[in-house]
Amino acid sequence: MTMTRTMPDITHHLSDRLLMAYAAGTLPEAFSLTVATHISLCDECRARLGAYESLGGAVLDHAAPVAMAEDSLAATMARIRAGAPDVPPAPRRAPGVLPAPLCDYVGGDLADVRWRPVGMGVKQAILPTSRDATARLLYIPAGAAVPDHGHRGTELTLVLQGAFVDETARFGRGDIEIANEDMHHMPVADIGEDCICLAATDAPLRFRGLIPRIAQPFLRI
């Protein structure tokens, strides 16, 4: 087994709010992608998701029923006999750095990411999701500052390779940072290895271009 296939030691988990909203199916696609990617690496949050889905089941079971159309069962049996629709199977365990849900959006693993330089050695790749939120992969050279992309709204940052540190903590593979507008900090990629993150934000799309305001060039720590 390679390092990337074992479950990483995760200390920064999804919030209950995010998990419940993902269980309910009310998150923007970019956020769902981030949650699904974290859960692919984290059994703890997978189990917590199971609990919130159980609550969804209880809510469904408790709902006051609405009568189905008269021929409904027959119509459904006809659908069944017409054959199974092409449902893509749940993504299988990915062997590389990117967990399966991300591979799906990238169309492969790290080697297939179409990076665009944004300055100071930092690269990004915006992933195709619905427009209510944006998901991007960020590549930050070891020791470099993470570009300040402005915490408007909520921003999730999930580490996939390497690590970053800020004033409060260290975030390694699988760790997720949940930042809101009042958060001002300057995370820096760990010196050991180039850092790759998945960042999702519900900030308006005009931020899509990510104008990097990299104040500090390379902070060596």
Partner 1 sequence: MFTEVHHCLADMAATPSPPAGRRAMRCATKRNRAVSGVASEKQTRVQQDAWVAAMIAVRDARDEAEFARLFGHFAPRVKAFLMRSGADATLAEECAQETMAALWHKAHLFDPSRASVATWIFTIARNRRIDALRRQRRPEPEDLPWGPEPEPDQADVLALQQDSAKLAEALAKLPEKQRVLIEKAYFGDLSQTEIAEQTGLPLGTIKSRIRLALDRLRHAMK
State which of positions 42-81 bind partner 1 (CB under 8 A): 43-44, 46-69, 72-73, 75-77, 79-80
DSSP reduced 3-state for 115? coil
Task: Report in angstroms how near the CB of residue 211 gets to partner 1 at its nearest.
Answer: 23
Q: Does 3 bind partner 1 (CB under 8 A)?
A: no
Stretches 88-96, 115-123, 168-176, 190-198: which one binds partner 1 (CB under 8 A)?
88-96
Q: List Cα–Cα distances, 64 to 10, 57, 61, in angstroms.
A: 41, 14, 8
Tokens encoding 158: 């999930």
Stretches 32-40, 140-148, 181-189, 210-218: which one binds partner 1 (CB under 8 A)?
32-40
Task: Report in angstroms how near the CB of residue 132 gets to partner 1 at its nearest.
Answer: 8
Strand partners, 126: 136
User: How far, in whole angstroms, is CA 214 from its chain's centroid?
Assistant: 24
Q: Does 200 bind partner 1 (CB under 8 A)?
A: no
Q: Does 86 bind partner 1 (CB under 8 A)?
A: no
Which of 107, 108, 115, 130 touches partner 1 (CB under 8 A)?
130
210 in Cβ contact with 124 (< 8 Å):
yes
Greatest C-alpha distance within the chain:
71
Residues between 150 and 169 that touch partner 1 (CB under 8 A): 153-154
Burial of 11 by CB count in 10 Å (0-12 exposed, 13-18 middle, 19+ buried)?
Answer: exposed
